Structure 1
Amino acid sequence: MAFFTMDHVKKSFLQGDVQEEILKGVHLSLRKGELTALVGASGSGKSTLLTIAAGLQSASAGEILMEGNSLHAMDQEALRKIRAERFGFVFQSAHLVPFLTVEEQLKLMLHVSESKLTKMAQRKEIARILKLVEIDHRRNAFPASLSGGEKQRVAIARAIIHQPEILFADEPTASLDSKKSKDVLSLIRDLTDTLNIATLMVTHDEAMLPFADRIIRMSDGLILQEETTKFRSPLFAPDHF
């Protein structure tokens, strides 16, 4: 069942004297345990849609509901708490803090999300998540010593350490080679299932689409096609790595 919906969402900007429409009335729903892929050419509106869904920018019109509650009606502090506590974010670049170790990156996220866990419980949860994403052997490493794939694993661990309900991923594999891309998408796929997270992912890479439960194709600010599939291609099926 969808617990997050976007209803007739529009976004426009004033460019000089011209009102430019980026989104032209988009309807979208997210369900827990489901990975939804947004695809489309550059300028189609897919990244704008994701950032609006994530509360990182506001819509010009339309409604965004989470468990029946309007995000538009929330004040900035309430929206900040939603983003910090119930959303997780992974972007094209890992955006790790350069002077913090892998373990410290996750501690910082627990602080930002105002975790109620005790310090001992936080250490146990960090250890569990680092093991889950198979980066626990690098827990004391600084970002400069990590490979691109390792950095993205840390970014994913940081995005889920506070147990979010929705994971927003904007081109999470764009800076990786095909092998590392497959590994990272396999990880996101597994976490979506294991942790029962609703994942919304923007990607331009058609090879990554077999990892998705739903594929939504966008063009010129509109959703053109929505495909539901449980198919896993043997060529791109997630590996146990």
Structure 2
Amino acid sequence: MAIFTIKDIKKTFTNGEVKEEVLKGINLTLHEGEITALVGASGSGKSTLLTLAAGLQPASGGQVLFEGENMTEMNAEQIRKIRAGKFGFVFQFAHLVPFLTVEEQLLLMFNASETTLKKHEQTKEINRILKLVEMDHRKRAYPPSLSGGEKQRVALARAIIHQPSVLFADEPTASLDSKRSRDVMRLIRELTRTLNITTLMVTHDEDMLSYADHIVKMSDGLVLKE
């Protein structure tokens, strides 16, 4: 089922009298349980497209329909609630809080998502998610003691702990070696399938494209091939 429909999305940045059209009318449909990978050279517009879909910045034209609702017509508070409750994010670096344990990182995310789960339910869910990302044995560990791959697994757990509908992954393996990159992508694929998440990923690494269901090639703000 389609959960995201992006219609004729445009984005123009203005610097003084200079205007730069970064996205020139993008159309894209994202489905549950599938990974869509955005690829292209730097400056092709793929990261801008991801941030527009996630409601992190406004479009200059077009529509972003999420679960049938037009996000481009929503106010900032409506979009914030969708991001907090329905979206999860993984970036190139884990950005973990250094003085919090792995378990506490996930508890912090529960608070940010305004969950209605009781404390014992949160603990049960944390244990379940950490097992899914194969980090349940490290839940008492602090970030400085974790490897790069382990940190990214925790970041992935943090992104899905509140059961989002959509996972946005912006270069999730760029800081990892090839083996750890494959491990993280295997987990992203498994979680996308198991939890029926819609995953939109930006990547420069062509070796990671084998894990995607759809590959969208972009250049100069346009989709070249899907």
TM-score normalised by the chain length of structure 1? 0.93
Give the aligned residue type for 1:75.
N
Residues 12-161 of structure 1 mapped to structure 2, 5 A cutoff: 12-161=12-161
The CA deviation at 1:22 is 0.5
Give the aligned residue type for 2:128.
R
Deviation string, structure 1 residues 15-70 (Cα, Å, up to 9, x no partner): 33221010000011111100000000000000000011011111111101112111
CA distance in 1, matches of 2:3, 2:205: 27
- Identify the residue that residue 233 of structure 1 maps to in structure 2: none
Q: Does 1:164 align with 2:164?
A: yes
- Identify the residue that residue 183 of structure 2 maps to in structure 1: 183
CA distance in 1, matches of 2:151, 2:67: 33
Find runs of 4+ consecutive structure 1 residues off by over 4 angstroms.
none
CA distance in 2, matches of 1:59, 1:208: 28
CA distance in 2, matches of 1:176, 1:118: 36
**Structure 2 gap ranges (5+):** none
Percent sequence identity over aligned pairs: 69
Give the aligned residue type for 2:195.
L
CA distance in 1, matches of 2:199, 2:100: 27
Q: Is the 8 A contact 2:3 2:198 kept in 1?
A: no
Give the aligned residue type for 2:43.
G
Give the aligned residue type for 1:68.
G
Give the aligned residue type for 1:156.
L
CA distance in 1, matches of 2:164, 2:180: 24
CA distance in 2, matches of 1:41, 1:213: 20
Tell me the SS of whatever aligns to 1:72. helix
CA distance in 2, matches of 1:119, 1:85: 18
- Identify the residue that residue 199 of structure 2 maps to in structure 1: 199
Tell me the SS of whatever aligns to 2:72. coil
Q: Is the 8 A contact 2:106 2:158 kept in 1?
A: yes
Deviation string, structure 1 residues 176-216 (Cα, Å, up to 9, x no partner): 00000000000000000000000000000111111000000
Tell me the C-alpha RMSD between the 2 structures: 0.7
CA distance in 1, matches of 2:50, 2:67: 18
Give the aligned residue type for 2:189.
R
- Identify the residue that residue 229 of structure 1 maps to in structure 2: none
CA distance in 2, matches of 1:110, 1:16: 41
- Identify the residue that residue 216 of structure 1 maps to in structure 2: 216
The CA deviation at 1:76 is 1.1
TM-score normalised by the chain length of structure 2? 0.99
Once the two structures are overlaid, the 10-residue window that deviates more, 12-21 or 38-47, is 12-21
